[in-house]
Structure 1
Amino acid sequence: MNRLVARFNAIFGPDMAGPLAALLAVLIVFGLASPQFFTAATFGSVAFQLPELGILTLAMLMPILTGGLNLAITFTANIAGLTLAWVLQANGGIDAGPAAFVLGSMLAIGVGAASGLVMGLVIAFTRAHPILVSLSMMIFLRGLGEFLTRGGDISGFPSFVAPIGHGSILGMPVPLLILLGCVAATHVVLSRTKLGFSTYMIGSNIESARYSGINTRKVLVLVYVLSGAIAAIAGIIMLARFNSVRVGHGESYLLITVLACFLGGINPFGGFGRVIPVFVALVVLQLLSSGLNLLGANQHLATAFWGLLLIAVMMLRWVSVKFIKKNK
């Protein structure tokens, strides 16, 4: 038994138990409460609704692991989406070709990376608090987007864009496949690369990391560049999903991404956590929302439940820490 537990922890990490327990609880409770819960329609809905929130959560994950935060992820996604929309509009709108979409997507990801680059440079070289820096970037991007769009939205895209937000390949939603690819890539970066190792080291103790020879400034800049680029991918998916872009799309996702990270075992002070438990936590949150909808609950009630869940997670962690210290 101990060998199985050790093997489980080696693959998924000790922080996987909490999300799996939450997943099992949600499945049991809503499975008993609603006979329609275990249907293809429910899980199909989850599969299509999860990706943009999931990718934004990955964009939030890496800064948190360094002990920071990126409050600008949703507006970075929207500015990236607007960039793609402007390129498509400039090349014929609904008549734009695939080349325009590829060019626009590359520019969108570049804009997202540039946003992260600015934040990373300021945080790394001035040692300003990431919350203040990312909050400033959030306000800047929101104001810039409102100015450029005059508070409106942009719509009217080629028909081949829609499958990115609504299409399926062999029964798997395209946006879910993109999310799984991003999850796999982030997992590899954090667990198999020097950047990932350095990210954890900085989150554990940035001064110790600096004295051990890690170029902490370079790592912080790269982390925020990747965060911005990942957020831009979410912006592209949101454009395809909603068939329009505006500055306020996905605003409510910001705090939910933080909740998903903490529910997935990420240390809010950095240095500890893995990608797979966070992905499971995202599934839990989406199933909770879908289950409440099946029971006829208002969507705002689901948001309230997410807040209560975060409080419960923090209390359980506090209790577990106390228990461990008492039994040492």
Structure 2
Amino acid sequence: MSEQRVRQLNSQFASVMALLRQPVKGKGGLFVLLVALMAVFSLLEPGTFLRGATLQAMMFQLPELGLLSLAMAIPLISGGINLAIIATANLAGLLMAWILTSLMPPDAADLDLALWMTAALLAGLALCALIGLITGFLVAYAGVHPILVTLGTMTLLHGISIYFTRGRTVSGFPEALIAVSNETVLGVPTSFLLFTMVAIVVHVLLTRTPLGIRMHMIGSNPEATRYSGVDTGRVLIWVYVLSSLLCWLAAIVMMARFNSAGAEIAHSYLLITVLAAILGGIDPYGGFGKIAGLFVALIILQVIASGFNIIGLSPHLALTAWGVILLFVVAAKRLAVRL
């Protein structure tokens, strides 16, 4: 490699590091949009929208989409994508459900129940970790584009789920599992608290650890990152392992909330997770984005869905509104760059 090329790569690497040290801008616009939406729905339904029961209902509905959006955000920041997040969560949920409903004795209680639940959770964890390892290896070392890898993984996992369940759902889980999504702490759902804690951990991981910084670097300029001495293959494997582990948490929350597991559950969430990530400021081309923006974007999407439901509009119009907002945000960003 020529000396000029090396200097160019070093310059690009330095630019990436400088950008990572800068505070993220643009969340102010999200907060303004959130406040405006809440004000509009409060005026349309005074005394209804801002009730504690409405806010609590939104917190019950948000966690599974939030965890899946985190699972999508990590690959996007690294310059990739994970189209298999829903299929991964559903297959893990079905494995855990099978253990809890078919292998666990119906009269299991106390210590036996705890052991069976632990075994089910560990099985789902191991499955998601394996899926992440295989996906990450194919992306990192086989040279296959992440879209093609995860599209294939999604199809494979979905097919396995359909084959073993014949399209049916599995239900009837222990109350200890159902409590994950139905209990509250001081009026706040435990599932929302779980999502919030996980979001904080992911934020710290991406912004305060060498692994997180390297994920941003790969998304910004993989070639410069590789020539700077970073083992990009190992980092990419971690990207997809972490994404799959977040799918495992999402599977637990969905099992608890719906009291069922199946191949088609949350199937419509896939594109919404991408929408939430981009709306939250994550660059679809990789390299930039923070979890704080994603968190606010998820609240905005939930406020729109809940607001439309309260005023009696079709939930399909909420999808339309989400699309309009996404197009507006993307157009505004492109216009700001040109100006």
TM-score interval, smaller chain: over 0.9
TM-score, normalising length: structure 1: 0.93
Query: 1:39 — aligned with what?
Result: 51
Greater shift, 163-172 or 87-96, is seen at 87-96
**TM-aligned CA distance change 1:181 to 1:81, over 3 Å:** same
Deviation per CA, 1:93-152: give whole Å up to 9, x if none: 574612211221121122112111111100101221111110100000100000111111
Counterpart secondary structure, 1:270: coil
Q: Determine whether 1:145 maps to 2:161.
A: yes
1 CA distance for matches of 2:115 and 2:235?
A: 33
Rounded to whole Å, the distance in 1 between the matches of 2:22 and 2:254 is: 32
State the secondary structure of the residue aligned to 2:37.
Answer: helix
Higher mean C-alpha deviation, range 45-54 or range 29-38: 29-38
Match of 1:326 in 2: none
- Residue by residue, what CA displacement relative to the aligned partner does 1:230-283 show, whole Å, maximum 9, x if unpaired? 011100110111111001000111111101100110011000010011101000
In the aligned structure 1, how far is the partner of 2:285 from the partner of 2:213?
A: 16
Matches within 5 A, 1:238-257: 238-257=254-273
Q: Distance in 1 between matches of 2:208 and 2:174?
A: 39
Alpha carbons of structure 1 residues 11 and 275: separation in structure 2 relative to 1, 3 Å: farther
Describe the SS at the equivalent of 1:14: coil
User: Residue 92 of structure 1 corresponds to which residue in structure 2?
Assistant: 105
Q: 1:278 is matched with which residue? A: 294
Pairing 1:23–2:34 present = yes
In the alignment, structure 1 residue 60 sits paired with structure 2 residue 72: yes
Q: Is the 8 A contact 1:95 1:158 kept in 2?
A: no
Give the whole-Å Cα distance in 1 for the aligned partners of 2:142 and 2:22: 38
- Counterparts of 1:18 and 1:278, CA distance in 2: 13
Alpha carbons of structure 1 residues 239 and 213: separation in structure 2 relative to 1, 3 Å: same
- For these two proteins, the number of residue pairs brought into alignment is 315
Distance 2:45 2:21 in 1: 36
Q: CA deviation at 1:157?
A: 1.3
Within-5 A mapping of 1:1-328: 13-35=24-46, 36-89=48-101, 90-93=103-106, 95=108, 97-323=113-339
- 8 Å CA contact 2:184–2:190 kept in 1: the answer is yes
Runs of 4+ in 1 over 3 A off after TM superposition: 9-12, 93-96
The share of aligned pairs that are identical, in percent, is 42
Flag structure 2 segments of 5+ consecutive residues without an equivalent: 1-19
Do the aligned partners of residues 215 and 20 (structure 1) sit closer, same or farther apart at CA in structure 2, a change above 3 Å counting? same
Q: Which has the larger radius of gyration?
A: 2
The 8 Å contact of residues 56 and 187 in structure 2, kept in 1 or not, is answered as: no
**1:56, 1:124 → 2: CA distance?**
22
Contact 1:93 1:157 in 2 (8 A): no
TM-score by length of 2: 0.90
Q: Cα distance 1:103–1:15, how it changes in 2: closer, same or farther (>3 A)?
A: farther
Between the aligned partners of 2:107 and 2:95, the Cα distance in structure 1 is: 16
- Give the Cα separation in 2 of the matches to 1:286 and 1:115: 30
Secondary structure of the structure 1 residue equivalent to 2:255: helix
For residues 94 and 248 of structure 1, what CA distance do their matches in structure 2 show? 30
Equivalent position SS for 2:33:
helix
**Could you report, residue by residue, the CA deviation over 1:160-204 in whole angstroms, capped at 9, with x for unpaired residues?**
211111111232201001101110110110011111010000000
Q: CA RMSD in A?
A: 1.5
Q: Distance in 2 between matches of 1:94 and 1:313?
A: 54
